[in-house]
Chain A
Amino acid sequence: MPEIIDQIFVLSKHWLLGYVPAGLQPVFSALLSVVPVLIAFPLLFAITTVLERKGLGRMQNRYGPNRTGPFGILQPMADGIKSLTKEDIIPRTADHLVHLLAPLLLVTASFLVYAVLPIGRNMVIANLNAGVLFFFAVGSMVELAVFMAGWSSRSKYSLLGAMRAIAQMISYEMPLVLASVVVIMAAGSLSTVAIVNMQASYTGIWPHWYVFTPWGLTGFVIFLIAATAESNRCPFDLPEGESEIIAGYYIEYSGFKFALFFLGEYLGMFATSAMAITLFLGGWAAPFSFLTWIPSYVWFFTKLLTLILVFIWIRGTLPRLRMDQLMNFAWKFMLPLSLINIFGAGVWHYMPAGLLRWLVVTLLVVVSCISLSRGLRRGKWFHVRTYRFAA
Chain B
Amino acid sequence: MTISFLLLAAITIAGTAAAMSLRNLVHCVLALTLGLVGLAALYLQLGAQFVGFTQILVYVGAVAILAVFAIMMTRSAEPTEPHGSSSFQLSGALIAGIVFAVLAWAVSSGTKALQVQTLQPEASVNQIGVALMHGFVLPLEVIGLLLTAALIGAGVLAMDETRGAR
Name the distance in Å between A230's Cβ and chain B's nearest Cβ.
12
Name the distance in Å between A88's Cβ and chain B's nearest Cβ.
22
Q: Are A140 and B68 in contact (CB under 8 A)?
A: no
C-alpha spacing A143/B59, complex, angstroms = 12
Partner of A133, one of B33, B57, B126: B57
CB-defined contacts of B9 to chain A, threshold 8 Å: none
Choose, from B47-55, B82-90, B134-142, the stretch at the interface: B47-55
C-alpha spacing A221/B68, complex, angstroms = 32
Binding site for B on A (CB under 8 A): 95, 97-98, 101, 128-130, 133-134, 136-138, 140-141, 143-144, 147-148, 151, 159, 163, 166, 170, 173, 188-191
Q: Which of B30, B50, B60, B64 has the most CB of A within 10 A?
A: B30
Interface of A is mostly: helix
Indicate if B56 sits at the interface (CB-CB under 8 A): yes
CB-defined contacts of B125 to chain A, threshold 8 Å: 129-130, 133, 189-191
Q: Are B64 and A128 in contact (CB under 8 A)?
A: no
Known: A141-B61, A189-B125, A189-B126. Is A129-B56 also a contact (CB below 8 A)?
no
Known: A98-B30, A130-B53. Is A151-B77 also a contact (CB below 8 A)?
yes
Least CB separation from A169: chain B residue: B65
Name the distance in Å between A252's Cβ and chain B's nearest Cβ.
16
Q: Are A144 and B33 in contact (CB under 8 A)?
A: yes
Known: A129-B49, A129-B125, A136-B57. Is A143-B65 also a contact (CB below 8 A)?
yes
C-alpha spacing A155/B134, complex, angstroms = 52
Name the distance in Å between A212's Cβ and chain B's nearest Cβ.
26
C-alpha spacing A133/B50, complex, angstroms = 8
CB-defined contacts of A141 to chain B, threshold 8 Å: 56, 60-61
A-B CB contact pairs (8 Å), 24 listed: A95-B27, A98-B26, A98-B30, A133-B57, A133-B125, A134-B53, A136-B61, A137-B56, A137-B60, A138-B56, A140-B56, A140-B57, A140-B61, A141-B61, A143-B65, A144-B65, A147-B65, A151-B72, A151-B77, A159-B72, A166-B65, A170-B62, A189-B126, A190-B125
Q: Are B57 and A137 in contact (CB under 8 A)?
A: yes
C-alpha spacing A128/B77, complex, angstroms = 39
Name the distance in Å between A90's Cβ and chain B's nearest Cβ.
17
Further pairs besides A95-B26, A130-B50, A173-B61: 12, Cβ < 8 Å? A95-B24, A95-B27, A130-B49, A133-B50, A134-B53, A137-B54, A140-B56, A144-B30, A144-B64, A144-B68, A189-B126, A190-B125
Q: Which of A95, A129, A137, A144 has the most CB of B within 10 A?
A: A137
Q: Are A133 and B53 in contact (CB under 8 A)?
A: yes
C-alpha spacing A133/B49, complex, angstroms = 10
Least CB separation from A190: chain B residue: B125
CB-defined contacts of A95 to chain B, threshold 8 Å: 24, 26-27
Indicate if B124 sits at the interface (CB-CB under 8 A): yes
| 3 closest residue pairs by CB, A with B | A140-B61, A137-B56, A137-B57
CB-defined contacts of B50 to chain A, threshold 8 Å: 130, 133
C-alpha spacing A130/B56, complex, angstroms = 13
CB-defined contacts of B72 to chain A, threshold 8 Å: 151, 159, 163
Least CB separation from B57: chain A residue: A137
Q: Which of B33, B50, B68, B124 has the most CB of A within 10 A?
A: B68
Least CB separation from A138: chain B residue: B56
C-alpha spacing A128/B64, complex, angstroms = 25
Q: Are A129 and B124 in contact (CB under 8 A)?
A: yes
CB-defined contacts of B26 to chain A, threshold 8 Å: 95, 98, 151
Instruction: Find residues 64-88 in chain B having any chain A CB closer than 8 Å to their own CB.
Output: 64-65, 68-69, 72, 77
Least CB separation from B122: chain A residue: A129
Q: Are B30 and A133 in contact (CB under 8 A)?
A: no
Q: Contact string, B25-41, partner A, CB cutoff 8 A, digits 1/0?
A: 01100100100000000
CB-defined contacts of B68 to chain A, threshold 8 Å: 144, 147, 151
CB-defined contacts of A170 to chain B, threshold 8 Å: 62, 65
Name the distance in Å between A99's Cβ and chain B's nearest Cβ.
12
Least CB separation from A147: chain B residue: B68
Q: Which of B49, B72, B124, B125 has the most CB of A within 10 A?
A: B125
C-alpha spacing A140/B53, complex, angstroms = 11
Q: Are B30 and A140 in contact (CB under 8 A)?
A: no
Q: Contact string, B114-143, partner A, CB cutoff 8 A, digits 1/0?
A: 000000000011100000000000000000
C-alpha spacing A140/B65, complex, angstroms = 10
CB-defined contacts of B30 to chain A, threshold 8 Å: 98, 101, 144, 148
C-alpha spacing A191/B126, complex, angstroms = 10
Q: Are A128 and B49 in contact (CB under 8 A)?
A: yes
Q: Which of B27, B56, B62 has the most CB of A within 10 A?
A: B56
Name the distance in Å between B100's Cβ and chain A's nearest Cβ.
29
C-alpha spacing A190/B72, complex, angstroms = 36
C-alpha spacing A260/B123, complex, angstroms = 37
Least CB separation from A109: chain B residue: B60
Name the distance in Å between A231's Cβ and chain B's nearest Cβ.
16
Name the distance in Å between A353's Cβ and chain B's nearest Cβ.
24
